[in-house]
């Protein structure tokens, strides 16, 4: 899953408006879409990583691999 999946601007039904930065809601820049700047991209990436690495303390770490 991509870190930017929460951005729903892929449909193109926003009246011609481009994607907006999910961090600060400013218009996205070409080089850093869907973010307005590298700074906001970094902020969002760090938020996403924080969520990924926040592993719940379960006692069955192999839970996902054993289902085949």
Continuous H helices in 22-67: 38-53
CA torsion angle for 31, 42, 6, 9 (degrees, to 10)? -20
Contact between 41 and Zn ion by CB under 5 A: the answer reads no
Pick from 24, 45, 49, 52 the residue near Zn ion by CB under 5 A: 24
CB of 30 to Zn ion, least distance (A): 14
Distance CA 55, CA 62 (A): 13
Please pick, from the candidates 19, 20, 34, 36, the single residue that binds Zn ion as defined by CB under 5 A: 36
Query: Which stretch in 6-14, 15-23, 50-58, 59-67 sits in contact with Zn ion by CB under 5 A?
Result: 15-23
Shortest reach from residue 58's CB to Zn ion, in Å: 35
Distance CA 61, CA 44 (A): 27
């Amino acid at each position: 899953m991509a870190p930017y999946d929460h951005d729903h601007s892929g449909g193109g039904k926003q009246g011609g408006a481009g994607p907006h930065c999910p961090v600060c809601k400013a218009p996205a820049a070409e080089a850093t879409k869907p973010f307005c700047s590298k700074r906001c991209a970094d902020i969002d990436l760090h938020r996403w990583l924080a969520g990924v690495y926040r592993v719940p303390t379960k006692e069955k770490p192999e839970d996902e691999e054993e289902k085949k």
